[in-house]
Amino acid sequence: MAYITLPTVFFSEKFKISLLAFLIALIIVFSVVNKFNIVTVIVIITLTTLLLIIMRSSRGQNLEGSLPNTIYPIPPHLGLDGISLVNASNFN
């Protein structure tokens, strides 16, 4: 007896999040506006982009927008140990 097997489809996590953001934007826009025109398409694209940014940054996957470490290197106006040489008091 021969069994028919369906191919397994692998979707990446980024694609799943993008698809979910698109579906949420589609549901929101079409529940408010019940017609399809160029303004609706632009609003869907804009809302999808905003939702995608929110969803990726909330999951910690926004590595492109991560900030560098602010401790290293130390600012150039400070001394080698991180204490400003201008503010040092001399109590002789």
Q: What is the pLDDT of residue 36?
A: 87
pTM (2 d.p.): 0.56
Q: Give the Cα separation of 35 and 33 in Å (integer).
A: 6
Q: What is the pLDDT of residue 28?
A: 93
Q: Report the candidate in 11, 7, 2, 18 with the shortest Cα–Cα distance to residue 56.
A: 18
User: Where do the domains of the chain lie?
Assistant: 11-92
66: left (phi over 0), alpha (psi -120 to 50) or beta: beta
Q: What is the pLDDT of residues 11-54, one digit of tens each?
A: 788 888 889 999 999 999 999 998 889 999 999 999 999 999 88
Q: Give the Cα separation of 51 and 25 in Å (integer).
A: 8
- pLDDT level of residue 64 (50, 70, 90 thresholds): low
